[in-house]
Amino acid sequence: MAVKAKILLMLSVSSTMLFFLLEFSNKLSFSVITYQLNIYKQNSCSCEKCLSEDKMFQFHHMNHSVKPFLTAKSELSEEDYAWWKNIQRERGDYSTYKATVKELFEIFPAEPDYEKPRSDRCRTCAVVGNSANLLKSHYGPLIDSQDIVIRINYGKVKGYEEDVGSKTTHRVMYPESSSRLDNTTHLVLFAFKIKDLQWLKKAFLTGFFGRSYTSTKSTIKANKDLVMVVNPALMKHAHVVWLKKKGVYPSTGFMTLILALHMCDEVHVFGFGADSDGNWSHYFEVLRNKKFKTGIHPGQQEFAVIEELANQKTIKFYRGY
């Protein structure tokens, strides 16, 4: 009888523990599901397919510890700084970089002006490259229909509206490719050296009179409240993760595409790659050297990544003519 009582007691304890574990498991599962739903609600947008909800894309390609823009609270690791410094053999040191960034955000917004995903809207973006394949494409109206239109460096609008559109909300540049902007366009700076950050400050205030490898505008006309500075860590991420360290560093156009993947719910890509004759040239220039490819930038690898993203339906890619 004593043995039978012990067995019954053990069965009772085991049943109680099993019940407790099942209850805990159910509550845990419910909590996980609730958490996932809350994340979904926070990140969801009204697009047919939102980048923020593409789990495979987010898992394989996006590193959310890498913020797209510098802010007043940004911290660039010494490892990321070392990669960035090597692009143009920067002479300044890490402490000079940090001091320069601190000075920047005494003038420009501490946080960049861009919205996170929202459930009540679909924020579409057009990334407009400068390839000659845009000529005769008639993409202008489609480009202008996007919420955000990002143009790159010297990409001209006047005289090319039928093919490239007329709307510009963001203009990507570095000091040597700078241009005047209207009061509603965001200046998006890709800085390749400390001097580029110093240029940004002085071009708005006293005028910049330093030297570079080519002529640089000493002043710039733009809305200082719409200035955005791309995080060097994102530039490194584009090179190391997306391009597997191919080329010296990515083109400004490719890095702009990676930036758009962080900013937008839906990305439409125009003006990338060679033209129909296999030439790499700009739509606003006469091609003089047909042997020119993409210089220090890994053009073929960049184009392969764009095609892969298009095939996976992560982006919408318009090839031009």
The residues annotated as belonging to the active site are 249, 297
Any binding-site annotation on 239?
no
Query: Contact 52/43 with Cβ under 8 angstroms?
Result: yes
Q: In 32-140, which ranges are E strands?
A: 124-128
Any binding-site annotation on 297?
yes
Instruction: Tell me the C-alpha to C-alpha distance, in Å, between residue 258 and each of 4, 96, 222, 241, 302.
Output: 69, 27, 24, 11, 11
Neighbouring C-beta atoms of residue 66, cutoff 10 Å? 17
Rounded Cα–Cα distance for residues 193 and 70 (Å): 14
Any binding-site annotation on 38?
no
- Exposure string over 201-237, b if 16+ CB within 10 A, otherwise e: bbbbeeebeeeeeeebbeebebeeebbbbbbbbbbbb
Any binding-site annotation on 311?
no
Q: In 23-139, which ranges are E strands?
A: 124-128
**Burial (0-12, 13-18, 19+ Cβ within 10 Å), 157:** middle
Query: Contact 310/265 with Cβ under 8 angstroms?
Result: no
Any binding-site annotation on 89?
yes
Any binding-site annotation on 171?
no
Any binding-site annotation on 186?
no
Rounded Cα–Cα distance for residues 278 and 320 (Å): 13
Neighbouring C-beta atoms of residue 69, cutoff 10 Å? 20
Distance of CA 173 to the CA centre of its chain: 14
Extract the tokens encoding 51: 């980048």
DSSP 295-310: TTS-HHHHHHHHHHHH
Known binding positions = 89, 130, 153, 213, 249, 253, 273, 282, 297
Known binding-site residue numbers for substrate: 89, 130, 153, 213, 249, 253, 273, 282, 297
